[in-house]
Chains A and B, each alone.
Chain A
Amino acid sequence: GAGVSQSPRYKVAKRGQDVALRCDPISGHVSLFWYQQALGQGPEFLTYFQNEAQLDKSGLPSDRFFAERPEGSVSTLKIQRTQQEDSAVYLCASSSSPTGRDTQYFGPGTRLTVL
């Protein structure tokens, strides 16, 4: 299909492990967002890319979180030394709008469980 895809869909990590979550946006979409959704909450913004440039990382909860989009398409969210509070669903969204202010198309998410 032509939608946003994410992998893996589920990830179980032991506390202290590093994890990498992948997002494949819709082809040609300039804007890419990462969100974190805790149980029973709405998604919360983590970071934003316009092409390969990371223009806003104000939502990243700590310096253990790192995101990249080196060629302006696929993006990876990396979490180092995972903690139990990192357990959540991580959502990726892309938009054709250069500012992302139009419709954002969401992927299925990666459910991360940290034991």
Chain B
Amino acid sequence: AQSVSQHNHHVILSEAASLELGCNYSYGGTVNLFWYVQYPGQHLQLLLKYFSGDPLVKGIKGFEAEFIKSKFSFNLRKPSVQWSDTAEYFCAVNKLGGSQGNLIFGKGTKLSVKP
């Protein structure tokens, strides 16, 4: 069955540190890839997405992600985190082909940024 793995359950960083959150998926076909973020007390919102083209995609708030097809990975990065980045981050995929695009999510990574 298709699955999404996020390697880190909880990451704690100090402000200005660099961030990389891992995401791997187990599906050999063509996929659309997403990172969603959930700030405390808020609902899931899209951070960035990859459908095709340049494998390095830029999202909101200075986040970027790189799609590496050979590694089935879509890691999220930010050069310098801020306290306001404290949130839970979810990687998700949907596969092309078939009639619809339900998202398959990883378990999420909680990011805590110390001021």
Q: Show the binding face of A for B, using Cβ within 8 Å.
A: 4, 31, 33, 35, 40-45, 48, 50, 55-56, 59, 91, 93, 95, 97, 99-109
Contacts and interface: CB of A to CB of B under 8 A. Distances in A.
Given A42-B90, A106-B44, A48 B100 contact: yes
A41 B43 contact: no
A109 B42 CA distance: 10
Nearest to B94: A101
Given A31-B100, A93-B44, A107-B43, 17 more contacts: A4-B43, A31-B101, A41-B107, A42-B92, A42-B106, A42-B108, A43-B90, A43-B103, A45-B102, A48-B100, A48-B102, A56-B99, A91-B44, A100-B101, A101-B94, A105-B46, A106-B36
Interface string B43-61: 1111001000000000000
B104 interface: yes
Given A42-B107, A43-B105, A50 B100 contact: yes
A59 B43 CA distance: 22
Interface in B83-106: 90, 92, 94, 96, 99-106
14 contacts: A31-B100, A31-B101, A40-B107, A41-B108, A42-B107, A43-B103, A48-B100, A56-B100, A91-B44, A93-B44, A100-B100, A100-B101, A103-B46, A105-B46
A31 B92 CA distance: 17
A45 B101 contact: no
Contacts of B99: 55-56, 99
B11 to A, nearest CB: 15
B32 A108 contact: no
Contacts of B105: 42-44
